[in-house]
């Protein structure tokens, strides 16, 4: 980071409001209910209200426009009195790149809200925000989020963005999308009574249809998704609005559409991904990365494809494992998993790009999982239990009753079923808890970003005008200033230890204070490249041989892209 | 070039309607990137404008030093307008003669360099400084050549790896260590260590020794991430995006020719080789080989080229055009050294040139772990051998924490390993260097090692090549291609010698040969245009089957030689297929899908039939619509007549 500052951690402790907080509740200047979902417009207004209430901590910036011209709102969260945000290690957090996975945006919004209201009130979070900065972008896919709320959706649609694509390859674009025939805001299912049908309607619970055995006769036919064959090609809803799967549109291991479906035309071909990519490349201080998806209760890390495994050297795996394991503990029913092994191959994914191409410790959380419905054990609830949950806890709100509809192609049909909120999005009464636990997980991750300090500095007079200055710089945190993959692949700039104010005639590293001889740095001994950076909870010791006189003042500085630079003044003097 | 300007004057006024120029983007330094469109003005008999007819794309100037490519692209354009307008009636030709205008401008205005990257500021050596250590013209001859340092001193940071060739003392070669020969010289690009970090020319503007971005490494296909010259990320360069964004609006382009430093016409790329995903070909799809070879044959018959530098696929434009954009993509350096061109006295068989491409094409490196597993190596050893140095230390310390039984079992398994592998494991375990794995023939190690092997291979070919270039320079170019070594007082190294090939000499012909190159390329492009696919859709026919029941038929035919889409294009499915659809309500169609999709129709009269049985009344008109973003849309009608 370019700006250099002395460490100011702890200075803010004085700000903490006292007396002790009476209860575990931090009042905020903006009250946002986290038991409901927000449209894009509501999200935008919450963000503006937060930025207005906490002008010192939040800078709300539109980093670009979506395909349909909506702002990509980024909250830059920083405590300016400890330095500009670019000078500190920063964590990137985003959500909702898949538009149907809506609670990602609420989780990021919650994180902005909680972190800022806790500043100056809660000691831990105040210290965190005095040490690090945060870039939080709640909604990566504003156009399709708007579509999800304003138009028809399912738990799985719309996932992609709204770029027009000829999905059915008939030379026409977006000509046969879903049709919300019963006007409930969701695309449900269509059933037709049919003496030769292969389905039977449950006598006790008429919401339920079951397939009959091969030798049995049913009385209903399943017509598929609610909709009309708008283009008369014999298929229904086969070419709806959108798009690209923007989580396949990043430049790390990107593959074209015929290999990775939804990839887009080339990496960053979408304005949304490009805006974030540009921000990332412009901010090498980002040292931690989180993106939110749903569902399944997973804390995912790369590789996205088996052949990318060399991008996860052992030293990085240790970092991932430690954060992932804490995640499993504080996120009940969540598992710490590896994308290509435990899920499927992803080429051109966002978090894998951050991990494998940018060398940043990076996680994707799949929010919400069936285990959380009853919180008894790790088994998925049965379909009967699911109905109990929908009826007794959600009071039927995830379901649209079957109603008759006169369909232009099929005549009299029944339309209804589970709506778009029914499966993947956290039930609203449980949303706040899910937001909070994931927020806490990212704060733990953030708190692992490197912080440097001068552990020990020793000045010795070696005779005549020759002095030695020996400096130990320590990173007390889990994440190294240069991750294993960054070092291995040559990503970003090296760390540097710089001594100014006297002529450095030789210098070199020591592996411990017991070492008598240095391992010499042959060139530029006063501006030493540390390609390996400062490791996880470890130190580097460097000895400079300088020409100078008693009383000379020197400056020693540690420069790093992913840590706050530290600098201190040294005076050449003999110990008495 | 005088001839060129003359031609522009001749074709001038008349060419206006047949050609137009559009700016499709700007370079990083703000220079325009232009595409020239050649084709008959107005609309053709199918109602198509130039941008709606099947088209051929010519791109040059991807690398700055390849001047002949830029000139040829322009020269071919002029000659097509001059003498081949018949071909421009049915097809369009797009020409981007300079994709990398910054490199072209950079090379013409400054000290000449071999490299032709972009001017993108880079920190190639990761030291926090941009472009701080480029090459330097030590002997002030206006060009960057090489520098050889005899017995480099201990403090220089240089290692002697070369000796002066006793037969041709202008050339350097690797010492024959098996004969006890000892290296005497270090050989590097001409320049100083400007930033005092011990490395020479490692981070200079335009990639004089490192740094800059090679556009031909910046495209997404087989992109080699984090390697010198490949850019911050794939498509990071405005020039790369300019051409891709434009291409994506030009579905009508069916084939391309890239004039650059590589060839895939003399060397037919291999088939059956793919990237690590197993799906993207590094050479050709099997189904495209016959046609690619046929075009290659046309090319070698016209140019008589026997050999040419092979295609480097990593992130290249040609690779992108073929394996992602999905069109036929041909590449040629336009000019090669005269001894690589068949002369009249040359009696070698025709097949020789074509065979040159067989060996050693780019290939996905086999997985080292898989090779070990194939040899029956137990998993814990595989993991150990394929791990990085730090990881190995971890694994070894893990071994110590195993129970005595487990340790014994593992030692037993180790003693049963093939000898070379056991030796290797022991060498590493005892703290020695990894002797490396013995790969099967042609195989390469993991990604980093593989890269090194490839470069070494290129180098050994280089030795032989350099002698031939020197001979050509001496015999046919008055020794103008090589700067003789002269002693220069180097500010950091003392006495060194500077010399070597003149930048660009080995890729550009003498001016007097250029005209012949343009003629050849025009002939080739003309031949290629005549072979491009087209689509003829017959007028629909109706046959009465009975009262109110009709059979409707149309025929889609491709009179070109090439199929309407390459095998790769059909696989990539970037563009929707040709769709022929009957405009009737679904209820009126008794047989046949309303929309018929044709992913590919073979060339040379290959055809597809479309038939429907429909219910309709006599006197009605049935409309058949053909939709194709490649060949244009069209509509045919037939009136149902009772008598038929």
Over the stretch A22-39, which tens digit does the pLDDT of each residue have? 578 899 999 999 999 999
Q: Inter-chain contact B597–A172, Cβ cutoff 8 Å?
A: no
Nearest CA in chain B to A314: B391
pLDDT surpasses 60 at B145: yes
Instruction: With respect to residue A545, please indicate whether it lies within any of the assigned structural domains.
Output: yes
Q: What value, to the nearest 5°, has the Cα angle with vertex A498 and ends A495 and A499?
A: 165
A-B contacts (CB, under 8 Å): 130
What lies within 8 Å, CB to CB, of A283 at 6+ separation is A86, A90, A135
> Which residues in chain A touch residue B280, judged by CB atoms under 8 angstroms apart?
255-256, 259
A12 domain-assigned: no
B206-265 residue pLDDT tens: 766 677 899 999 999 999 999 999 999 999 999 999 999 999 999 999 999 999 999 999
Q: pLDDT category, B448, cuts 50, 70, 90?
A: very low
Q: Is residue A280 part of a domain?
A: yes
In a domain? residue A113: yes
Three-class SS of B368-418: HHHHHHHCCCCHHHHHHHHCCHHHHHHHHHHHHCCCHHHHHHHHHHHHCCC
The beta strand positions in B491-535, using DSSP E, are 494-501
Torsional sign, CA B483, B485, B486, B489: positive
- A565 & A416 share domain: no
A357 CB neighbours in chain B (<8 A) are 225-226, 233
Is the Cβ of B109 closer than 8 Å to some Cβ of chain A? no
- Put simply, whether B586 touches A (Cβ < 8 Å) is yes
Domain match, A141 and A270 both? yes
> Residue A430 carries which DSSP code?
G
Cα A434 vs. chain centroid, distance in angstroms?
15
Which of B127, B579, B593 shows the shortest C-beta gap to A529?
A: B127
Do residue A84 and residue A229 come from a single domain? no
pLDDT at A312: 98
Q: What pLDDT score does B381 carry?
A: 80
Tokens coding A16: 């903490």
More confident residue, B229 or A9: B229
From chain A, the residues in CB contact with B276 under 8 A are: 305, 307
Average pLDDT over residues A511-519: 96
Tell me how far apart the alpha carbons of residues B206 and B121 are, in angstroms, rounded to a whole number: 8
Separation between Cα atoms, residue B520 and residue B526, nearest integer Å: 10
Looking at residue B207, its pLDDT comes to 65
pTM metric for this prediction: 0.88
Nearest CA in chain B to A308: B276
- B614 alpha carbon, distance to own chain's centre: 49
Q: Which residues in chain A touch residue B390, judged by CB atoms under 8 angstroms apart?
A: 313-315, 484
Nearest of B206, B251, B280 to residue B27 by alpha carbon: B206
Rounded to an integer, the average pLDDT of A483-492 is: 97
Q: Which two tokens stand for residue B259?
A: 């004039």
Q: Domain of A300?
A: 35-148+244-368+427-446
| B248 contact residues in A (CB cutoff 8 A) | 265
Residue A160 domain-assigned (yes or no): no
Specify the DSSP class assigned to residue B365. P
Distance CA(B86)–CA(A25), nearest Å, equals: 81
Which residues are CB-neighbours of B13 under 8 A, at least 6 positions away? none
B430, pLDDT greater than 70: no
- B443 vs B421: CA distance, rounded Å: 17
* Chain B hits for A490, Cβ within 8 Å: 126, 226
User: Residue B411: pLDDT above 90?
Assistant: no
- The closest CB to that of B391, out of A172, A232, A314, belongs to A314
Q: Among residues of chain A, what percentage have pLDDT more than 70? A: 96
The answer on A307 and A393 residing in a single domain is no
Cβ neighbours of B391 in A, within 8 Å? 313-314
| A261 and A319 share one domain | yes
- Please write the tens of the pLDDT for every residue from A220-276: 999 999 999 999 888 899 999 888 999 999 999 999 999 999 999 999 999 999 999
Reported confidence tier of residue B434, pLDDT bands at 50, 70, 90: low
- At B349, the pLDDT band (50, 70, 90 cuts) reads very low
Please say whether the beta carbons of A100 and A422 come within 8 A.
no
Contacts of B324 in chain A (CB under 8 A): 256, 266
Q: Is A332 in the same domain as A298?
A: yes
Of B198, B388, B391, the CB nearest to A523: B198
Q: Which residues of A touch B126 (CB under 8 A)?
A: 490, 492-494, 529, 531
* B225/A252 touch (CB, cutoff 8 Å), yes or no: yes
**Does a structural domain hold residue A234?**
yes
When divided into structural domains, chain A yields a total of 3
Q: How confident is the model at residue A345, as a pLDDT?
A: 94
Return the SS3 of B18. Answer: helix
Concatenated DSSP letters of A275-296 = HHHHHHHH-TTEEEEEEEEESS
- Would you say residue B272 has pLDDT above 60? yes
Other Cβ atoms within 10 Å of B329 Cβ, number: 27
Say if residue B419 is preceded by a cis peptide, omega within 30 of 0. Answer: no
CA distance B105 to B64: 8
HSE, CB side, 13 Å, CA atoms: give it for residue B418: 13
Question: Mutate which of A238, A307, A308, A321 to disrupt the B interface (most B C-beta within 10 Å)?
Answer: A307
Average pLDDT, chain B: 86
Q: Let me know: does A542 contact A510? Beta carbons within 8 Å.
A: yes
Section A180-202 average pLDDT: 95
Contact present, B321 and B248 (Cβ < 8 Å): no
Q: Contact at 8 Å (CB) between B230 and B220?
A: no
Same domain, residue pair A181 and A67: no
Decide if A70 is inside a domain: yes
The pair phi, psi for residue B518, each rounded to 5°, is -65, -40
Q: Using 50, 70 and 90 to split pLDDT, how confident is the model at B342?
A: very high
Interface test with A, best of B120, B128, B570 (most A CBs within 10 A): B128
* Cα–Cα distance measured from residue B170 to residue B482, given in angstroms and rounded to the nearest whole number: 9
Same domain, A144 and A269: yes
Q: CB distance B595–A170 less than 8 Å? A: yes
Encode pLDDT of A422-445 as tens digits.
989 999 999 999 999 999 999 999
Q: Please give the CATH topology (third level) of the domain spanning B2-41+51-110+213-363+507-531.
A: Aminopeptidase (3.40.630)
Rounded to the nearest 10°, the torsion over CA A83, A84, A89, A91 is 130
First to last CA, chain A: 38
Provide the H-helix boundaries in B206-307.
238-247, 289-303
State whether A388 and A506 are in the same domain.
no
Contact call for A234 and B585, based on CB within 8 A: no
B386: closest chain A residue by CA: A310
pLDDT tens track for A70-110? 999 999 999 999 999 999 999 999 999 999 999 999 999 99
Residues facing residue B186 across a β-bridge: B149
Query: What chain A residue is nearest to B130 in terms of C-alpha separation?
Result: A493
- Residue A276 counted as domain residue: yes
Contact across the interface for A267 and B233, Cβ inside 8 Å: yes
Q: Does B279 touch chain A (CB under 8 A)?
A: yes
Of B193, B232, B390, the CB nearest to A281: B232
What CATH number does residue A83 fall under? Answer: 3.40.630.10
Q: Which residue among A172, A232, A529 sits closest to B586, beta carbon to beta carbon?
A: A232
A307 and B367: CB-CB below 8 Å? yes
- Rounded Cα gap, residues A375 and A59, in angstroms: 39
Q: Chain B closest CA to A459's CA: distance in Å?
A: 26
As given in the structure block, the two tokens for residue B103 are 């490199």
Contact B597 A170 (CB under 8 A): yes
> Cα B517 from chain centroid?
21
Query: Chain A partners of B586 at a C-beta cutoff of 8 Å?
Result: 229, 232-234
By the 8 A CB rule, do B57 and B91 touch?
no
- What average pLDDT is seen over chain A? 94
Give the pLDDT band of residue B453 (cuts 50, 70, 90).
very low
Residue A51 predicted with pLDDT over 80: yes
Q: So what's the pLDDT on residue B385?
A: 79
Distance from CA of A567 to the nearest CA of B (A): 17
Tokens of A524: 């530029």
Which pLDDT does position B388 carry in this prediction?
A: 67
> What pLDDT band is residue B155 in, cutting at 50, 70 and 90?
confident
Q: Give, in words, the CATH class of B536-639.
A: mainly beta
> Token pair for residue B243?
């051409």
Question: How sure is the predictor about B452, in pLDDT bands with cuts at 50, 70 and 90?
Answer: very low
Nearest Cα to Cα of residue A154 among A222, A199, A99, A231: A99
Token pair of B303, please? 């140019």
Assess whether A402 and A485 both reside in one domain. no
CA distance A201 to A228: 23
Q: How far apart are the C-alpha atoms of B297 and B295, rounded to whole Å?
A: 5
Are B593 and A233 inside 8 Å of each other by CB? yes
Instruction: Provide the pLDDT for residue B356.
Output: 39
Instruction: Give mean pLDDT, residues A326-355.
Output: 96
Reply yes or no on whether the pLDDT at A217 is more than 70. yes
Cβ neighbours of A523 in B, within 8 Å: 157, 193, 196-198
Distance from CA of A230 to the nearest CA of B (A): 11
CATH classification at residue A458: 2.60.40
Interface of B with A in 379-418 (CB under 8 A): 387-388, 390-391, 394
Contact B57, B257 (CB under 8 A): yes
Within 8 A of B244 by CB-CB distance, chain A residues are: 265-266
Nearest to A119 by CA among A22, A54, A46, A181: A54
Within 8 A by CB and 6+ apart from A461, the residues are: A467, A550, A572, A574
**Nearby residues of A484 by Cβ (< 8 Å), 6 or more positions away:** A312, A313, A314, A315, A316, B388, B390
**B171 Cα to chain A: minimum distance (Å):** 31
Residues A279 and A355 in one domain: yes
**What are the residue boundaries of the structural domains of chain B, listed by start?**
2-41+51-110+213-363+507-531, 146-207+445-501, 368-429, 536-639
Q: Do A256 and B593 touch (CB under 8 A)?
A: no
Q: A202 and A174 share a domain?
A: yes
Weakest mean pLDDT among A290-294, A321-325, B3-7? B3-7
- 3-state DSSP assignment of residue B456: helix
Among the partner-chain residues B126, B197, B279, the one whose CB lies closest to the CB of A493 is B126
**Cα torsion B585, B586, B592, B593: sign:** positive
- Strand B55-60 relative to strand B19-26: parallel, antiparallel, unpaired? unpaired
Contact A257 B573 (CB under 8 A): yes
């Amino acid at each position: 980071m370019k700006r250099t500052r002395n460490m100011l951690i702890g200075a803010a402790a004085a700000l903490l409001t006292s007396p002790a907080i009476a209860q575990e509740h931090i009042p905020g200047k903006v009250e946002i209910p986290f038991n409901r979902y927000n449209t894009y417009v509501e999200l935008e207004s919450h963000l503006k209200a937060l930025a207005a209430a906490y002008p010192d901590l939040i800078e709300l910036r539109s980093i670009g426009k979506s395909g349909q011209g909506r702002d990509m709102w980024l909250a830059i969260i920083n405590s300016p009195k400890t330095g500009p945000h670019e000078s500190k290690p920063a964590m990137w957090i985003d959500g909702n790149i898949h538009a149907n996975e809506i609670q990602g945006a609420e989780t990021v919004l919650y994180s902005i809200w909680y972190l800022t209201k806790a500043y100056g009130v809660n000691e831990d979070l105040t210290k965190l925000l005095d040490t690090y900065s945060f870039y939080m972008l709640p909604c990566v896919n504003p156009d399709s989020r708007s579509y999800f709320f304003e138009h028809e959706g399912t738990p799985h649609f719309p996932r992609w963005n709204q770029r027009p694509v000829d999905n059915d390859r008939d030379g026409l674009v977006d000509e046969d999308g879903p049709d919300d025939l019963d006007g409930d805001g969701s695309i449900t299912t269509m059933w037709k009574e049919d003496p030769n049908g292969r389905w039977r309607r449950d006598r006790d619970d008429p919401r339920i249809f079951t397939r009959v055995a091969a030798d049995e006769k049913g009385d209903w036919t399943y017509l598929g998704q609610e909709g009309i064959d708008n283009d008369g090609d014999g298929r229904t809803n086969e070419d709806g609005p959108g798009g690209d799967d923007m989580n396949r549109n990043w430049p790390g291991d990107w593959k074209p559409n015929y290999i990775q479906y939804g990839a887009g035309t080339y990496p960053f071909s979408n304005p949304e991904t490009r805006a974030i990519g540009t921000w990332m490349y412009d901010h090498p201080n980002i040292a931690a990365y989180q993106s939110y998806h749903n569902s399944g209760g997973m804390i995912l890390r790369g590789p996205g494809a088996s052949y990318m495994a060399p991008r996860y050297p052992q030293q990085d795996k240790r970092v991932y494992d430690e954060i992932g394991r804490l995640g499993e503990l504080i996120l009940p029913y969540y598992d710490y998993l590896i994308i290509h092994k435990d899920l499927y191959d992803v080429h051109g994914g966002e978090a894998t790009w951050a991990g494998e191409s940018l060398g940043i410790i990076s996680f994707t959380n799949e929010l919400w999982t069936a285990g959380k419905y009853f919180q008894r054990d790790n088994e998925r609830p049965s379909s009967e239990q699911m109905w109990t949950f929908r009826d007794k806890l959600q009071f039927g709100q995830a379901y649209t009753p079957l109603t008759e509809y006169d369909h232009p192609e099929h005549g009299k049909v029944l339309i209804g079923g589970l709506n778009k909120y029914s499966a993947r999005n956290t039930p609203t009464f449980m949303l706040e808890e899910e937001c909070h636990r994931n927020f806490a997980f990212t704060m733990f991750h953030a708190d692992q970003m490197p912080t440097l300090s001068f552990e020990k500095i020793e000045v010795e007079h070696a005779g005549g005008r020759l002095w030695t200055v020996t400096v130990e710089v320590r990173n007390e945190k889990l994440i190294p200033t240069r991750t294993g993959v960054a070092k291995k692949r040559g990503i970003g700039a090296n760390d540097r230890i710089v001594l100014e104010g006297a002529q450095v005639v030789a210098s070199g590293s020591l592996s411990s204070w017991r070492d008598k001889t240095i391992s010499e740095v042959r060139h530029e001994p006063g501006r030493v490249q540390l390609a390996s950076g400062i490791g996880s909870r470890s130190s580097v010791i460097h000895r400079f041989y300088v020409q100078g006189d008693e009383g000379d003042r020197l400056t020693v500085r540690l420069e790093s892209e992913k840590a706050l630079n530290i600098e201190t003044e040294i005076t050449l003097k003999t110990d008495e | 070039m005088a001839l060129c300007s003359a031609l522009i004057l001749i074709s001038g006024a008349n060419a206006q309607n047949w050609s137009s120029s559009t700016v499709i983007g700007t370079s990083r330094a703000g220079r325009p990137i232009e595409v020239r469109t050649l084709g008959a003005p107005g609309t053709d008999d199918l109602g198509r404008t130039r941008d709606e007819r099947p088209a051929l794309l010519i791109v040059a100037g991807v690398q700055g030093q390849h001047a002949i490519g830029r000139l040829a692209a322009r020269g071919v354009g002029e000659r097509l307008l001059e003498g081949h307008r018949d071909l421009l009636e049915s097809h369009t030709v797009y020409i981007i003669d300079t994709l990398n205008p910054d490199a072209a401008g950079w090379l013409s205005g400054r000290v000449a360099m071999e490299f032709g990257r972009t001017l993108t500021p880079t920190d190639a050596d990761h030291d926090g400084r941009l472009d701080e250590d480029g090459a330097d013209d030590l002997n002030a001859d206006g060009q960057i050549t090489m520098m050889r340092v005899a017995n480099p001193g201990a403090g220089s940071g240089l290692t002697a790896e070369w000796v002066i060739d006793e037969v041709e003392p202008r050339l350097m070669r690797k010492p024959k260590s098996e004969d006890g020969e000892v290296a005497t010289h270090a050989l590097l690009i001409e320049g100083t260590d400007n930033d005092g970090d011990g490395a020479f020319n490692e981070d200079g503007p335009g990639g004089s020794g490192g740094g800059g971005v090679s556009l031909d490494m910046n495209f997404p296909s087989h992109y080699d991430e984090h390697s010198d010259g490949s850019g911050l990320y794939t498509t990071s360069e405005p020039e790369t995006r300019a051409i891709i964004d434009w291409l994506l609006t030009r579905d009508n382009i069916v084939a391309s020719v890239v004039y650059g430093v590589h060839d895939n016409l003399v060397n037919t790329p291999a088939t059956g080789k793919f990237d690590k995903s197993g799906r993207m070909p590094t050479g050709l799809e099997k189904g495209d080989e016959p046609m690619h070879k046929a075009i290659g044959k046309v090319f070698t018959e016209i140019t008589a080229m026997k050999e040419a530098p092979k295609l480097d696929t990593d992130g290249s434009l040609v690779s992108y055009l073929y394996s992602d954009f999905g069109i036929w993509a041909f590449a040629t350096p336009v000019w090669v050294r005269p001894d690589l061109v068949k002369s009249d006295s040359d009696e070698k068989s025709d097949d020789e040139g074509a065979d040159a491409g067989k060996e050693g094409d780019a290939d996905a490196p086999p997985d080292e772990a898989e090779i070990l597993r194939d040899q029956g190596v137990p998993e814990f050893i595989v993991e150990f051998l394929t791990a990085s140095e730090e990881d190995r230390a971890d694994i070894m310390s893990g071994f110590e924490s195993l129970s005595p039984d487990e340790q014994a079992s593992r030692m037993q398994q180790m003693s049963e390993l093939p000898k070379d592998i056991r030796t290797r494991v022991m060498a590493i375990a005892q703290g020695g260097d990894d002797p490396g794995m013995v790969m099967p023939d042609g195989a390469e190690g993991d990604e980093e090692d593989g890269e090194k092997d490839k470069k070494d291979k290129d180098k050994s070919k280089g030795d032989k090549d350099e002698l031939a270039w020197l001979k050509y320079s001496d015999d046919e170019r008055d020794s103008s291609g090589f700067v003789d070594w002269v002693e220069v007082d180097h500010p950091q190294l003392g006495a060194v010698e500077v010399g070597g090939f003149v930048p660009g000499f080995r890729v550009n012909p003498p001016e007097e040969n250029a005209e012949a190159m343009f003629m050849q390329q025009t002939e080739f492009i003309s031949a290629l245009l005549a072979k491009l696919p087209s689509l003829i859709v017959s007028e629909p026919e109706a046959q009465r089957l009975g009262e109110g029941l009709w059979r409707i038929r149309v025929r889609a035919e491709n009179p070109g030689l090439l199929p309407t889409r390459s095998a790769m294009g059909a696989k990539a499915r970037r563009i929707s297929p040709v769709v022929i659809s009957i405009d009737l309500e679904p209820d009126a169609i008794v047989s046949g899908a309303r929309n018929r999709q044709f992913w590919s129709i073979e060339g040379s009269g290959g055809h597809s039939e479309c038939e429907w049985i429909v219910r309709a009344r006599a006197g009605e008109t049935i409309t058949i619509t053909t939709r194709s973003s490649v060949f244009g849309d069209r509509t045919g009608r037939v009136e149902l007549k009772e008598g038929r």
